[in-house]
Homo-oligomer: A and B are copies of this chain.
Amino acid sequence: MLALDQESELQEFCTALNPGRTAEFMEGLDDSDVWRVLQFAQSDRRAEIFGHFDEERQLAMLACEPPVETAKLIEEIPADDRVDLIQGLPTETVDEILPLLPVSERRDIERLRSYPEGTAGALMTTEVAKLAEKLTVGQAFDELAGIARSLETIYYLYIVDDHNLLRGIVSTRQLVSSLNDRSLTLGELMETDVVTALAGEDQESVAETVERFNLLAIPVIDSGRQMLGIITHDDVIDVVREELTEDAQRIAAVEPFDDDFLRIGLAVLSYKRGLWLTILFFAALLTAFALRHYEDELAVHAWLVWFIPLIISSGGNSGSQSATLVITAMTGGEVELTDLPKVLGRELGVSLMLGGFLSAIGFFVALFVAPSAVAALVIPLTLLSVIVCGCLCGVTLPILFKRLGLDPALMSNPFVAGIVDILGIVIYINVARIVLG
C-alpha cells in the first residue's frame, strides 16, 4: 500500500482496526515506513497505535524523525508513558523536543520526571477527570463530553475542591445510574472513603492495594492530600508481572535487571549473576575445608565419599523447595511474619515424610555398597537429618530476612544452600563416626 501511495487505504488501515492490531501488522516494516503509515492516522489514533510498539522500537522511531514531528506525537501520548519514553531518549534529543511542547505539557513532564523510578509518582498519569463537588449529574456529563477524548480513563471521576484537595470519588457507573436524577450533585453522589496512594509509595505496595480493593485506577496524592494523578490498571498488571519475575530471578540468585534478557549487555549480565555466584562459591568452598578436616574418616571408609553429592543435593533441593514456597506465599500475602511457628510445625511434618521416604530408598541402595547393614544405616540417618534441617532452614530464613527488613527472595536461597551444604557434610561425618564407631 505504501509503495502504491494508496492514501485512503492507509487511512482505513489506521482507523478500522484495533490500534494494537494495526501495530502488530506493521511489526515487519522498517522504522521509517511505520512512521510514514502513522502520518495517515488522526493524531490521537496515531499516539495509540504508536503506544503498542515496544519501547526500543518507539525510541528508534523518535530518534530518526525531525523534532517538530516527534514533539507533535509526544503531545498526544498519555502522560505516564510519555515520561518513560523521554527518559529513554538521548539528552540532546530531549533538549530539542521539550521547547517545542506547550508550556503546560512541558511542566507536567518535568514534574513526573522528578519522581524516582519505582514509586507511585513515577507510574501515575496526570490526565484525569477532576470535577467540582457542586456540579450536578447533568453538568458533569456535559463537562465529561468535552474532555473524555483526551483522557486515558474516565471510569472514575475525582471530586476536588478549589485547592485541588481530593474530596471524593464518583464512578461513571454511579453517574450513569443516576441519569434519571440529573439534579443530584456530585457531592451528594460521591464516596468519601477513597482508597489512595502516596506519590512516594513503593509501586509494589500500590499494586497490592489496587488488587485488594479490585480498583480500575487509584488516585495518587501528596502528603497534604493534593490530588496529583492516577495509576491505571494496565500499569498495575505490569508492576505485578515485574515484581513476580524479579522474585523468581532472585530465588535463582540472579540480581534482577530492567532490560530484556536478549538485549542486556553481557558484561552487565555477568556481573548480575557473578555477584551471587561468587558468594555461593565461597559458601561451597567451606565444604572443601570441612572435607579436608575429615580426611582420616574418609580414608578409612572410602565408600562414604560416593554418597556426598547425593546427600548435599537432597538437602539443597528440599531446602530450596521450602524457601521458594515460603517466599511465594509471602509475596501472595498468604504467610505473615507471625505465622513462623505454624509454618515450622507444618514443615517439620512434611520434612519427616519426605525424609523418611527418601531415606528408605537410600538405605536400600546403601545395603549394596556398604560393608555391613549396620554401616549402611549411616546413609538413611544422614539423609533424614539433612532433609529435615534443609526444610526448616528453608522456611525460617526467608521469614527471618523479611523481619529484618531485607528482601526474602534475594537473600534466602544462597544462604539456605550454603548452610545446608556445610551442615550436610558435618552431619554426615558425625553420623558415620557414631554408627561406625
- Give the contact stretch, choosing among A33-41, A66-74, A89-97, A262-270: A262-270
Report the minimal beta-carbon distance from A416 to chain B, rounded to whole angstroms.
11
Query: Do B191 and A145 have beta carbons less than 8 Å apart?
Result: no
Q: Which residues from 332 to 365 on chain A have a C-beta closer than 8 Å to any C-beta of chain B?
A: 332, 334-335, 339, 342-343, 346, 349-350, 353-354, 357-358, 361-362, 365
Task: Find A262's partner among B17, B193, B320, B342 (CB 8 Å cutoff).
Answer: B342
Q: Which residues from 345 to 392 on chain A have a C-beta closer than 8 Å to any C-beta of chain B?
A: 346, 349-350, 353-354, 357-358, 361-362, 365, 369
Q: A252-B321, A334-B260 are in contact. Are A312 and B309 (CB under 8 A)?
A: yes
Q: Which residues of B contact A172 (CB under 8 A)?
A: 154-155, 172, 176
Query: Do B193 and A17 have beta carbons less than 8 Å apart?
Result: yes
**Is A236 an interface position by the 8 A CB rule?**
yes
Q: Which residues from 152 to 203 on chain A have a C-beta closer than 8 Å to any C-beta of chain B?
A: 153-155, 172-174, 176-180, 191-195
Q: With A and B bound together, what is the CA distance between A355 and B92 in angstroms?
A: 39
- Give the contact stretch, choosing among A102-110, A113-121, A274-282, A399-407: A274-282
Query: Do A262 and B148 have beta carbons less than 8 Å apart?
Result: no
Report the minimal beta-carbon distance from A394 to chain B, rounded to whole angstroms.
10
Q: A211-B237, A309-B425 are in contact. Are A354 and B291 (CB under 8 A)?
A: no
Q: Which residues of B contact A273 (CB under 8 A)?
A: 318, 321, 350, 354
Report the minimal beta-carbon distance from A41 to chain B, rounded to whole angstroms.
14
**Is A225 an interface position by the 8 A CB rule?**
no
Q: Which residues of B contact A303 (CB under 8 A)?
A: 292
A contacts with B: majority SS: helix
Query: Do A253 and B321 have beta carbons less than 8 Å apart?
Result: yes
Query: Do B324 and A251 have beta carbons less than 8 Å apart?
Result: yes
Report the minimal beta-carbon distance from A119 to chain B, rounded to whole angstroms.
20
Who on chain B is nearest to A342 by CB? Answer: B262
Q: Which residues of B contact A179 (CB under 8 A)?
A: 141-142, 144-145
Query: Do B309 and A252 have beta carbons less than 8 Å apart?
Result: no
- Give the contact stretch, choosing among A1-9, A57-65, A239-247, A429-437: A239-247
Q: A252-B324, A280-B317, A358-B281 are in contact. Are A214 and B241 (CB under 8 A)?
A: no
Query: Do B309 and A288 have beta carbons less than 8 Å apart?
Result: yes
Q: Which residues of B contact A240 (CB under 8 A)?
A: 237, 240-241, 244
Report the minimal beta-carbon distance from A162 to chain B, rounded to whole angstroms.
24
Query: Do B254 and A233 have beta carbons less than 8 Å apart?
Result: no
Report the minimal beta-carbon distance from A259 to chain B, rounded to whole angstroms.
9
Query: Do A280 and B325 have beta carbons less than 8 Å apart?
Result: no
Q: A176-B145, A306-B291 are in contact. Are A353 and B270 (CB under 8 A)?
A: yes
Query: Do B266 and A287 have beta carbons less than 8 Å apart?
Result: no
A-B contact pairs, 29 of them (CB 8 A): A16-B193, A20-B212, A20-B213, A144-B179, A154-B176, A155-B216, A214-B234, A216-B233, A236-B237, A241-B244, A244-B245, A245-B331, A248-B248, A253-B321, A262-B334, A262-B342, A262-B343, A266-B349, A267-B353, A270-B353, A270-B354, A274-B354, A277-B318, A278-B358, A278-B361, A280-B317, A281-B314, A284-B313, A287-B306
**Is A426 an interface position by the 8 A CB rule?**
no
- Beta-carbon contacts of A203-221 to B below 8 Å, as 1s and 0s? 0000000111110100000
**Is A249 an interface position by the 8 A CB rule?**
yes
Task: Find A295's partner among B248, B291, B299, B302 (CB 8 Å cutoff).
Answer: B302
Q: Which residues from 5 to 44 on chain A have a C-beta closer than 8 Å to any C-beta of chain B?
A: 16-18, 20-21
Q: With A and B bound together, what is the CA distance between A158 and B17 in angstroms?
A: 16
Q: With A and B bound together, what is the CA distance between A18 and B210 in angstroms?
A: 13
Q: Which residues of B contact A148 (CB under 8 A)?
A: 173-174, 176-177
Query: Other CB < 8 Å A-B pairs besides A142-B179, A145-B180, A149-B173, 15 of them?
Result: A141-B179, A145-B178, A244-B248, A253-B321, A262-B343, A266-B349, A270-B350, A273-B350, A274-B357, A284-B313, A284-B314, A288-B307, A309-B421, A313-B316, A317-B417
